[in-house]
Structure 1
Amino acid sequence: MSFLDNYFEISKNGSTISREIMAGMTTFATMAYIIIVNPKILEAAGIPFGPSMVATIISAVFGTMAMGIYAKRPFAVAPYMGENAFIAFTVVKVMGHTWQTALGAIFFGGVLFIIFTVTGIRSWLIKAIPKSLKNAFVVGIGLFLAFIGLNTTGIVSIGVPGAPVHIGDLTSAPVLLAIGCFFLTAILMARKVNGALIIGILITSCLAIGIGVADLPQAFFSAPPSLEPIMFQLDIMGALNWGFISVILTVFVLDFLDTMGTLYAVSHRAGLLDENGDLPHIERPLLVDAVTTVLASLLGTTTTGVFVESATGIEAGGRTGLTAVTTALLFLAALFLAPILTMIPACAYGPSLIVVGMLMLAPCKELELDDISELVPAFLVITLMSFTYNLGIGMTAGFIAYPLMKAVTGKLDQVSPGLWILCVLSITFFITCPH
């Protein structure tokens, strides 16, 4: 046990081995849905479900384990939600490309990330972002998380044109369980009970099974399907077609922004940022993200990156790479225990997303609300992240609005060269993105 403590510097970070393991379990519990949801979405693009599930798990195991051992950060890595839908429904269904060519675009995006990371360009661009936008990222991602939790649990439902969202069925058992789980978790946190999030998830899961809202699995073990139908099936040459450049650019920008925003948000919550608001040794988690994306394309799945659900493990006390290693081992177990590990219902894990989203509103007090040149970009970031259901859209809007507002208020000296590059990249993204 002393080896774990020394390697991950657990005591130095004010944590304990048991707390780190509990945090890893919490992170896994809130993101285990990706094991089923990602392959289900990609199935619409023609990628077979079974092999896609295995590719999803192996990508998560590799990325999260590397994040823990190499980067020594409590962040989980897996195929991104949003990017998978973009590939399945826009690139394949609307634009008519094959999923093999789409994976080729993801491969190129990952290679570009590796180049940008090892040359230091990626971290330089991230450090060029002003503190006000970084704080807006945290708040926006918090609201995004809360909205996902509210919608997943059914507390908020998709509405109709003119009223796109409305309150869910508050008389239904799953919604009532979700509301109860939220308050149970909040009460446990108020009482400073360690493991409040995972306790809420486990108790609600048991209650859901007891009243028939969730079912016990028909089998407890299952052999993983073969990866052969999708592994190494990407069409690299097809992605080199000039007409495919917009897809590669979109994949690149979305992953760049999602990873950047999520890294900052979860690091802020974990207290891992330095006095300048930067994440020390940021190249390590960025390189893990880039290499895992390349691996994912070779395995047969979509862009990977740091999962925003990592914030739940951080809230449970995770501060070191042992949290990520624990999550990675649970994903590895999911290759054979998928029926058990994926039976956690939305009414059990969804409230933890709401709770963490709520806690991520703390940087609101650091926003300069009396300076319109700071307020407008921050407002666009926060609102568009949630209202477009896309982190990248909110961030790119902020990168465009910040220089614009500084220019019209005579404060161009506050805009760094790196931010101008991000502004141009964001404008190019909106022009070329196949919406």
Structure 2
Amino acid sequence: MKHFFEFEHYKTSYKQETLAGITTFLTMAYIIIVNPAILENAGIPRGASVTATILASVIGTVIMAVWARRPFAIAPYMSENAFIAFVVVKVMGYPWQVALGAVFIAGVLFTLLTVFKVRSWMAESIPMSLKASFAVGIGLFLTFIGLNETGLVVLGVAGAPVRLGNLSQPSVLLAVAGFMLVVVLMAWKVRGALVIGIIATTIGSILLGITPLPERFVSLPPPLAPIFLKLDIAGALTPHFFPIVMVIFIMAFLDTIGTLIGLSMRADLLDENGNLPEIERPMLADALATMAAPLLGTTTTGAYIESAAGIEEGGRTGFSALVVAGLFALSLFFAPLFTIVPPHAYGIALIVIGSFMIRPISQLNFDDFTELIPAFLTIVLMIFTYNIGVGMTAGMITYVLLKVCTGRSSEVKAGMWVLALLSISLFVFMPKM
């Protein structure tokens, strides 16, 4: 096992990788509850959706662990599930079966593009300034999510769009205490600081009566039959549904590239040219998982940015992803236990992660506006639109435009032209509401 996952090469160990896997799982276990709750708005039965969510996460993460051997967990994407539930089904009126058919078609396209190395060709054409901005943007995006989940930052009622949360609220005070515990432990270089902080905050939340104990800790997984193999591929291949297929495809395509590059940069997995060696492997894991998800009855899956939590705990190989997959598999029977972690507990880990992921900002050339402005827009729009894909598309489009307008189009690689066109097409095909 050590040889297979190259522990010696990555200077890691079973303990380090296991801690990393536990940390990643704890920060993303919410998906077991949240994804089915969102998809229920599309008419997908919640019980069956819980089982589909877990199985899709297990399948994708196992492929990532064993085939790609990277420390990235895979699960249903939050932005895509909301798009399908609230836009495609509720607003536009399409059946959820047709929407899942579109997800399957996107997965087939991902697989073909990956096998023929088109996706890796495009990923390697992205300039280092944008790659650095992906890492920084994802880090700050995670921090913003963490600030919201802990209640330290809330939506504003008037004037400013966001404001300071209620610091007298017990859950917020507990989050602050948990955050300080994690930071102090990290300053003392205590391994597992994030896990300790999450668990300590969860226990404190239970003791203070903020988080109730579940009625039971063990439960059988709900049957998958109501949604298994219910996708409608033929309905998704009709001309009037083509724009929806394109939006789902482009959103997931760009999200995956940005997430893989951003996480790999933080994990020091990029080579001297700023590329992830054998990037086709994690991309294929993502593609195959996206094909499996709609067959099971859930939406687009991909590499999760919460994997950054495990990376901060030292996760460098697929073994940590294997641990995540194992915990997801256990959650089929222990879902009430694993989902007891409250938002103000895992939120503190997301805040801490952001402080580590801003390091690549030092790689930006602040004297070259054709490099700086696209990177800047990528970072700020990821955060302020609450959407990684929007930030990436803005950065890619602006990068190409600035290079052309300053007579430096020769610096734009062929793959970047394709990515810029894909970015523009996202807004062209996006349904008008």
1:372 aligned to which of 347, 369, 373: 369
Aligned residue type for 2:238: N
* Aligned mates of 1:73, 1:401 — CA distance in 2: 31
Cα distance, 1:119 vs. partner? 0.4
Partner residue in 2 for 1:337: 334
Q: Please list every run of at least 4 consecutive aligned residues from structure 1 whose deviation after the TM superposition is greater than 6 angstroms.
A: none
* Aligned mates of 1:144, 1:11 — CA distance in 2: 33
1:164 aligned to which of 161, 166, 177: 161
Cα distance, 1:181 vs. partner? 1.2
Q: Root-mean-square deviation (CA), in Å?
A: 0.9
The residue correspondences of 1:392-431 to structure 2 (distance < 5 A) are 392-431=389-428
Partner residue in 1 for 2:255: 258
2:237 aligned to which of 233, 237, 240: 240
2:81 aligned to which of 84, 97, 104: 84
Q: Is the 8 A contact 2:101 2:294 kept in 1?
A: yes
Secondary structure of 1:157 counterpart: strand
Aligned residue type for 1:28: F
Partner residue in 2 for 1:317: 314
Aligned residue type for 1:231: F
* Aligned mates of 1:43, 1:353 — CA distance in 2: 27
Are 1:279 and 2:276 counterparts?
Answer: yes
* Aligned mates of 2:159, 2:252 — CA distance in 1: 32
Aligned residue type for 1:396: T
* Aligned mates of 1:326, 1:360 — CA distance in 2: 23
* Aligned mates of 1:287, 1:160 — CA distance in 2: 44
2:203 aligned to which of 195, 202, 206: 206
Aligned residue type for 1:362: R
Q: Deviations over 1:296-355 (max 9, x none)?
A: 010000000000000000100111111000000000000000010100111111010011
Q: Is the 8 A contact 2:251 2:426 kept in 1?
A: no
* Aligned mates of 1:90, 1:293 — CA distance in 2: 20
Aligned residue type for 1:107: F
Q: Is the 8 A contact 2:22 2:310 kept in 1?
A: yes
The residue correspondences of 1:214-233 to structure 2 (distance < 5 A) are 214-233=211-230
Cα distance, 1:11 vs. partner? 2.3
The residue correspondences of 1:1-12 to structure 2 (distance < 5 A) are 4-12=1-9
Secondary structure of 1:197 counterpart: helix
Q: TM-score, normalised by structure 1?
A: 0.98
| Identical aligned residues as a percent | 56
Secondary structure of 2:155 counterpart: strand
* Aligned mates of 2:73, 2:397 — CA distance in 1: 30
Cα distance, 1:62 vs. partner? 0.6
Are 1:50 and 2:47 counterparts?
Answer: yes
1:178 aligned to which of 169, 172, 175: 175
Q: Is the 8 A contact 2:105 2:245 kept in 1?
A: yes
Secondary structure of 1:295 counterpart: helix
Partner residue in 2 for 1:116: 113
Q: Deviations over 1:117-176 (max 9, x none)?
A: 000000000001111011111111111100111111111111236421111111001111
How many pairs are equivalent?
Answer: 432
Q: TM-score, normalised by structure 2?
A: 0.98
Aligned residue type for 2:15: S
Aligned residue type for 1:240: L
